[in-house]
Amino acid sequence: MTGEATIAALLAIWDAELSGEHHAELRPALRQLVDQFQQSADDETRADIEMRITDLLREADLDLYRKLIAMRKAIRAGTAQNRFGTRGMPSGEELATVWQEIRAHEGTTRGEPISTGDTGGTALTLGGGAEATDVAREPRYTRYTDISCPQRAQLNERIAVTVRLTLEPSPHTLVAQPLDLGPEPVQVRLTAPRMALLGPGEQSIPILPDADSPPVVFYLLPQALGPAEVTLEFRQQGQFVAPPVTFRVEVVAHEVAYAAAPYPPTAVDPAMARAVKAPDLTLRVYYDPGASRLLFALWREGVVIHEEPAEAFAGAGPAAYIEGLYRDLALLRQGRDSVRVGGRGGRMLSGEDIARTLQRIGNRLWEKLIPPGLRLVYARERGAWSDADERLSMLLISDEPSIPWELVRPFDEEGAWEESFWCETFHFARWLPRHPDLNRQFAPAPRLTTAQVAVLAPECYPELSAIAAERQLLRDLAARHGLCDRSPARATAAAVADLLEAGGYDWMHAVSHGDFLPENASNCSVLWLEDRLSLSSEVITGAAIMRHLMQQRPAFVFNACHLAREGPALSGLDGWATQLVGRGAGLFLAPTWTVTDELAAGFARTFYEHFFDRGQSAAAAVWAARQAIKRPGDPTWLAYSLYAHPNVCVTVTAAGA
C-alpha cells in the first residue's frame, strides 16, 4: 500500500537514530503521524502522511532525512538488514507489531506522553498546501545527475557535454546530485555565452521507472580564448528541481588532453518541484563579462519561448547609467528634478511631474535592457497574460544584481498599448543565482519555515518616528502566531553579530537607517544599529553564519533605505542581497533607494498581514503592500525589491511544537 516503504524505513532507523535527547521534540510529532498512518486505509490519506513525515525530517534534521531515504531505497531493493527479520518489504502485520514494540518500549523507558490523533497543531502551513499535497501523490523517483564535460578545450574544436539521470550515483562523475522527481520528463537547458551551440540548447530526459535515463548530448564550439562558463538548468513542469550547475571550461589555442571540468557543489531541496507552484513566467538573464553582453531566455509553463542576446549598455556603460538612475530616484523622493543648471539644484516637481518622470525611467529601461525580439514576443503574448483569471507571477533570475528590473515599463513603439511597471503588472520577484565568491549555488527556496523571529530596531534615531510602531508590529505578529522572539535587548553591533553567528532565528526584520557607499568596496551597504554604529554586509561570512544560511534558509526583511541596492558595475559588489541570497537565505526584501518613514511602516504592516495572516505568496503580499502605500508624487511604493520564489508561502511553526 501507499507509503509503507517510508514507514518501514522510519521504524528501521528509529532506535539507532531517534533515541537521543536531541530528538526529544521530534519523536512525539513522528509518533502521531505513524499512528495516523496505521489507522488509515485510504491511499490518499497515507500519501499525505508520508509526505508530512519526509517534510518534517527534512526540515528538522537533513542528515536524518538522508538516512531515511537510504533505508527506504535499501528496503525496496531487498538489500536492507533490519529489525523486521527480512531484507525486503515487511508485511502490514510486521509493521504494526514493530510499531507497538517501539511504542511500548518508549513509554516504559522514557515516560514520554504517547498520544494519538491529529498533528495539525505541529505546524500551520499558510497558502498553497492543497496543491502541494495533490502533487505529492504522484509517483516519486530518486535520480542522480551524471554530467561529463572537459576541463579544457581547443579553440574552434567541438566539445561535448553529456547529461544523464541515473538510479545510482555514477563513479565517473565528480558529483552525483540526488534529485526527487515526478514521472514527467526533465528539461535540461544549457547556456554557454562564449561558445556556439551546435544543436538545441534544451533537451528532454525521460524518467524511466526502473532504469537509467538515456543520455542527452550538447555540442559546443569554443570561440574565444580564456575561461568560458557553461550553465546547466534542470526543470520539471516548469519548476527548478536543482539549482543551476555552473562550471568553467578553459579554452586554449593548442591541442589538449581530456580532463573532467570541476563541478561545484549545489544545495538541493529534494521536494522543490512539489513544494511550490512554478512561476507563470521566468525571465533568465545571463551576463557574459567577456563580451559585455546579456543573454535573455523567457520561460512560460516550463518551455523557453524566446532566447536572444543583447548588448548590456552602450556609451558610458552600466556603472555611470545605473549610478545616475538611482541618484534621479532619490531626488524624485524629495520632489526634485535631477537637472542642474548653473550650479543650482533641480527644480521642485509636482506630483504629476514625478509620475511622468517615473514612467519615462521605466520606458527607458524597457528600451535599453530588453532586446527587440523579446519586445516583440512580449507584445504578442501580453494579451493572453492580462486575460488570465489571476495575476501572473514572474521570476527574474539575473546574474546582474544592480539593475532595478522592477521598474521596467513595457510599451508599444507605435503607441497602441502601454503597461505599468513589471512589479505592478505581475506578482514579481527576482533571484541571484550565485555569489561571485562562492562555487555553491542556490535555487529559490520552495518553502519558508518560521518559528523564531528577531527584530533589530535601534532606539537612538528619534527622526525615525515609525520604528516603535514597527517593533510592536513584529511583537504582535510573534504573539499571534506563537513565534519565539529572539530579538536582542539592544540592537548593538556586538549583539547582532552574536545573533548571526549563533543562528537562533529563521526570520529577521530590521528597521533603521541604511546607506549605500559605492566608493567603499569593502563596506558598500550598511545598516545603522544602536549607538549609531554601522553593520556592513561584509559581516555575512564565516563558517557559523554560512552554515545557518545554507541549512535553515532564513528570511530577511530590512526596512531601511538603499539596502537592496548592489554595486553599480555588472560584476556586482557584496551588498546585502548578494551576501544573503548568494549564501543561501530564502527571502530578502528591502528598498533600493530612500523611502518615506511613514509609508515604509505601512508597507511592512500590509506585507505581514497578507503573508502571515492571510497566507498569500511572498510576491502577492509585496504587491498588496505596494498598492497600500501608493501615493501621488512619492515613489516609495516602487522602491522595494523582493528576492524569493514569487509563489513561496510561509509555514509557521509555533514555539515548542
DSSP, collapsed to helix, strand or coil, labels residue 609 as: helix
C-alpha cell at 448: 519558508
The pLDDT confidence band at residue 222, using thresholds 50, 70 and 90, is: very high
Q: What is the pLDDT of residue 124?
A: 35
The pLDDT confidence band at residue 268, using thresholds 50, 70 and 90, is: very low
Give the span between the Cα atoms of 557 and 641, in whole angstroms. Answer: 10
Mutual angle of helices 92-109 and 4-17, in 10-degree steps: 30
Q: What is the pLDDT of residue 519?
A: 61
Question: Cα torsion at 121, 125, 127, 131 (round to 10°)?
Answer: -100
C-alpha cell at 140: 516519486
> What are residue 499's phi and psi, to 5 degrees?
-65, -45
Mean pLDDT, range 44-51, rounded to an integer:
75
Mutual angle of helices 318-333 and 351-369, in 10-degree steps: 160
Q: What is the pLDDT of residue 343?
A: 47
Give the span between the Cα atoms of 525 and 197, in whole angstroms. Answer: 39
Task: Examine domains 141-275 and 436-652 and report if their fold is the same.
Answer: no
Q: 446-456, pLDDT tens digit by residue?
A: 889 999 999 99
Q: What is the pLDDT of residue 575?
A: 82
The pLDDT confidence band at residue 227, using thresholds 50, 70 and 90, is: confident
DSSP, collapsed to helix, strand or coil, labels residue 231 as: strand
DSSP state of 88: S
The alpha helices in 448-559, defined as continuous H runs, are 467-481, 493-502, 543-552
Helix (H) or strand (E) holding 112: none
Mean pLDDT, range 307-327, rounded to an integer:
69
Asked if 278 and 237 touch (Cβ cutoff 8 Å), the reply is yes
Mutual angle of helices 467-481 and 597-608, in 10-degree steps: 10
Higher model confidence: residue 290 or residue 590? 590
CATH architecture of 436-652: 3-Layer(aba) Sandwich (3.40)
C-alpha cell at 469: 510602531
Asked if 645 and 595 touch (Cβ cutoff 8 Å), the reply is no
Position 530, amino acid: E
Give the CATH number of domain 141-275; options: 2.30.110.10, 2.60.40.10, 2.10.10.100, 3.30.365.10.
2.60.40.10
Q: Give the DSSP per-residue string, 281-342.
A: EEEEEEEETTTTEEEEEEEETTEEEEEEEEES--TT-HHHHHHHHHHHHHHHHTTB-S--BT
Q: How far is CA 428 from CA 24, 374, 396, 423, 425, in A?
A: 41, 18, 8, 5, 8
The pLDDT confidence band at residue 263, using thresholds 50, 70 and 90, is: very low
* Domain boundary assignment for the chain: 4-122, 141-275, 318-394+404-425, 436-652
pTM: 0.68
Give the span between the Cα atoms of 370 and 46, in whole angstroms. Answer: 48
Q: 115-165, pLDDT tens digit by residue?
A: 433 434 333 333 443 344 344 456 788 888 899 888 888 899 999 999 999
pLDDT at 321 over 90: no
pLDDT at 459 over 60: yes
Q: What is the pLDDT of residue 657?
A: 47
pLDDT at 605 over 80: yes
